[in-house]
């Protein structure tokens, strides 16, 4: 079939997440200007440049209280955040932290997740996540929206200014990603686990 998203079709409006998959999950910690830590998963998330290393994530909706999602609000206030890798061992915690808790609730405490003090930025890191990327805000972009609520569809671009990797995943200067058992998001309530890999070398144009 073929359809135009703005016209009639048989799918729910968020069909896109069942078509663009698997999406990595940025499990993002931030802190409010009053010092309340926050933790939430975002799968509209990816790496977007190497030098300097930059990442993006996007909030597709507003907070259930009508305002900005807490993560966006905190990052705009304090300009710092941490991206923690979401792994299978912590899958329930990842899901639990998607709760639309009020702004003054510490979701680390609420979901019983261990914090570790980050090296450079104020927001705490997830202690049991194998990767913590400490980031500073580069830019917020207001994406196109059809909603009257202007707190929807916000994209954050951050620069990674500190990288913590658990030592056991590093060997001979290479990172063993597969060993980490990362999880990713598909459509609906479906997830996948990164549990196999294959190798391919990229082709090179040979100039005669």
Ligand X SMILES: Cc1cc2nc3c(=O)[nH]c(=O)nc-3n(C[C@H](O)[C@H](O)[C@H](O)COP(=O)(O)O)c2cc1C
The residue within the footprint of ligand X, chosen from 32, 95, 145, 177 (CB under 6 A), is 95
Spatial neighbors of 36 by CB under 8 A, at least 6 apart, are 103, 104, 105, 106
Site for ligand X contains 55 (CB under 6 A):
no
- For ligand X, the closer of residues 100 and 193 by Cβ is 100
Q: Is 71 in the site for ligand X (CB under 6 A)?
A: yes
Q: Is 97 exposed, middle or buried (0-12, 13-18, 19+ CB in 10 A)?
A: buried
Cβ-based neighbour number of residue 48 at 10 Å? 10
SS3 track for 94-153: HHHCCCCCCCCCCHHHHCCCCEECCCCCCCCEECCCCEEEEEEEEEEEECCCCCCCCCCC
Measured from the CB atom, the residue of 148 and 207 that comes closer to ligand X is 148
Q: Which is nearer to ligand X, 74 or 118 (CB)?
A: 74
DSSP state of 175: E
184 belongs to the binding site for ligand X (CB under 6 A): no
> Is 43 a binder of ligand X (CB under 6 A)?
yes
Measured from the CB atom, is 51 or 71 closer to ligand X? Answer: 71
Which distant-in-sequence residues (6+ apart) come within 8 Å of 208 by Cβ? Answer: none
Q: Is 90 in the site for ligand X (CB under 6 A)?
A: no
Q: Which residues pair with 131 in a beta bridge?
A: 165
**Residue 171 CB, nearest approach to ligand X (Å):** 29
Q: Mark the segment that binds ligand X (CB under 6 A) among 1-9, 35-43, 112-120, 194-202.
A: 35-43
Q: Would you tell me which residues interact with ligand X (CB under 6 A)?
A: 25, 38, 40-44, 58-61, 63, 69-71, 94-95, 98-100, 185
């Amino acid at each position: 079939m073929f359809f135009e998203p703005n016209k009639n079709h048989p799918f729910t409006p968020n069909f896109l997440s069942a078509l663009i998959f698997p999406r990595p999950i940025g499990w993002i910690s931030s802190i409010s200007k009053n010092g309340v830590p926050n933790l939430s998963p975002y799968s509209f998330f990816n790496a977007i440049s190497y030098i300097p290393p930059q990442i993006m994530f996007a909030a597709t909706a507003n907070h259930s209280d009508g305002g900005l999602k807490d993560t966006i609000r905190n990052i705009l206030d304090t300009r710092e955040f941490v991206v923690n890798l979401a792994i299978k061992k912590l899958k329930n915690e990842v899901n639990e932290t998607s709760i639309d808790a009020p702004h003054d609730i510490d979701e680390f405490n609420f979901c019983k997740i261990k914090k570790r003090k980050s090296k450079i930025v104020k927001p705490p890191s997830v202690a049991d996540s194998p990767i913590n990327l400490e980031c500073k805000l580069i830019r917020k972009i207001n994406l196109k929206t059809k909603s009257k609520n202007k707190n929807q569809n916000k994209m954050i671009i951050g620069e990674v200014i500190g990288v913590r990797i658990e030592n056991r995943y590093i060997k001979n200067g290479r990172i063993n990603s597969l060993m980490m058992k990362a999880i990713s998001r598909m459509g609906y309530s479906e997830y996948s686990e990164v549990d196999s890999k294959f190798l391919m070398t990229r082709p090179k144009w040979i100039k005669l």
